[in-house]
Amino acid sequence: DGGITQSPKYLFRKEGQNVTLSCEQNLNHDAMYWYRQDPGQGLRLIYYSQIVNDFQKGDIAEGYSVSREKKESFPLTVTSAQKNPTAFYLCASSITRGEEDEQFFGPGTRLTVL
Partner 1 sequence: GENVEQHPSTLSVQEGDSAVIKCTYSDSASNYFPWYKQELGKRPQLIIDIRSNVGEKKDQRIAVTLNKTAKHFSLHITETQPEDSAVYFCAANMDEKLTFGTGTRLTIIP
Residue 95, beta-bridge partner list: none
Applying CB under 8 A, what is the total number of residues that bind partner 1?
Answer: 24
Per 3-state DSSP, the chain is made up of helix, strand and coil in percentages (nearest 5) of 0, 50, 50
CB of 85 or CB of 98, closer to partner 1: 98
CB of 48 or CB of 78, closer to partner 1: 48
Per the CB < 8 A criterion, the answer to whether 6 and 107 are in contact is yes
One symbol per residue from 61 to 100: x for binding partner 1 (CB under 8 A), - otherwise; what is it? -----------------------------x------xxxx
Residue 26: CB atoms within 10 Å: 12
**Residues near partner 1, by CB under 8 A:** 1, 35, 40-45, 48, 56, 58-59, 90, 97-103, 105-108
